[in-house]
Amino acid sequence: MSEEIKPFRVDIPQQQLDDLRERLERTRWPAVLPGDDWDTGVPTAWLKELADYWRTGYDWRLAEAELNKHPQFTTTIDGQRVHFLHVRSAKPDALPLVLTHGWPGSVVEFLDVIEPLSADFHLVIPSLPGFGFSGPVSDSGWTVERIARAWAELMRRLGYERFGVQGGDIGAAVSPEVGRVAPDRVVGVHVNGGPGPMPPLPLSEEELAGLTDLERDRVARIEAFMREEFGYIAIQSTRPQTLGYGLVDSPVGQLAWIMDKFREWTHPRTTSPELVIDRDRLLTNVMIYWLTGTAGSAAYVGYAQDAGWGAVAANSGVPTGVIAFAHDIGIRRYAETANTITRWVDVDRGGHFAALEEPELLVADVREFFREIVSDPL
């Protein structure tokens, strides 16, 4: 099988952009539900305003040019096309670092951290299999372990024998797994949110009593998530193909599906997501899904995993650092059952999309973590 690495450049035909604009003009809007607020999903009035800006004010060509400022490539690993950015540091001996995004994210998540991180690291930023320009998937079985093995292979092809890994959301599951499949090569694992596992719910009264106030708050928010927000995982992990028809055919459907999570998971939750993250950046992330038609395959890969919610993986022994922002639900005492935690920082602001919401904080913590564990100071 070829190990060729091919240069890649984003170049979307104008016909696709014209088609998107026409579809947005012809949107068939649902009746407004009572209250038209976030309790029943994305409010119609809010979404209409955002969709109108998408149609008349957003400029994909500017976003495309920003992506193309960075060297991009594709290669085939384990039968799957993998797209990635590869930004080398001006420091020849900089530590290589793999950044892995999550759902409903993309490589767009990392655009604001590339410049500061590349001062100290050679950056490799892949699109997850089935996501964006790495999609769609060609076969089943893309568990986090398989993705981790693909990342280790990608780094081998790039000539990086020793490297670090970082990620959030799905990336926070993949990154520790890279340490498990290649513990002799991974110098450190850094995640935002927490590397898992989650606490085995429900907790007994005795166990709850032994937790700190912060830990009890996170347990309560995990329980609320399972009651109120788990529906999207149930759909994506069981009926991704059925869901895909609507999301791939309707740009407003795709926009609503993703914006629902950006509103729920940014911090503070009561603030509209476009006031937390730049509106154009939000739309560029949505565009990656729309232009590549990968809503179904991203859902299929993202949540059709074998491991259970509270499953405990083997500890790789690789030093692991965590930055947990205000919205996050990682709990150190549970994470330590499967990870060698050497640094844990709780932050009282920021949400799930760390690189988009708090890029400076994330960069500083990544830099400090790897400074602590590598012999050559960054």
* pLDDT tens, position by position, 108-122: 999 999 999 999 999
Would you say 183 and 162 are in contact if contact means Cβ atoms under 8 Å apart?
no
Give the active site residue among 120, 169, 280, 365.
169
Active site residue 327: no
What is the structure's pLDDT at 81? 97
Q: Reduced to 3 states, what is the DSSP secondary structure of residue 279? A: helix
The CA–CA distances, whole Å, from 316 to 169, 305, 311 equal 20, 20, 15
Contact 98, 163 (CB under 8 A): yes
Q: Is 289 a catalytic residue?
A: no
Q: Mean of the pLDDT values across residues 205-234?
A: 94
Is 3.40.50.1820 the CATH classification of the domain at 6-197+229-373?
Answer: yes
pTM over 0.85: yes
CA distance 350 to 328: 9
Identify any residues that bridge with 323 across adjacent strands, giving them in sequence order. 192, 345
pLDDT tens readout for residues 285-319: 999 999 999 999 999 998 766 655 556 789 999 99
Of residues 101, 280, 352, 365, which has the active-site annotation?
352
For residue 222, pLDDT over 80 is answered with yes
Is residue 352 part of the annotated active site? The answer reads yes
Sequence-ordered alpha helix ranges (H) in the chain = 14-25, 44-56, 60-68, 114-117, 144-157, 170-181, 205-209, 213-228, 231-238, 240-249, 251-265, 279-292, 295-303, 332-335, 354-357, 359-373
Per-domain boundaries in the chain? 6-197+229-373
Catalytic site residue from 86, 232, 303, 346: 303
| Contact assessment for residue 152 and residue 138, using Cβ atoms and an 8 Å cutoff | no
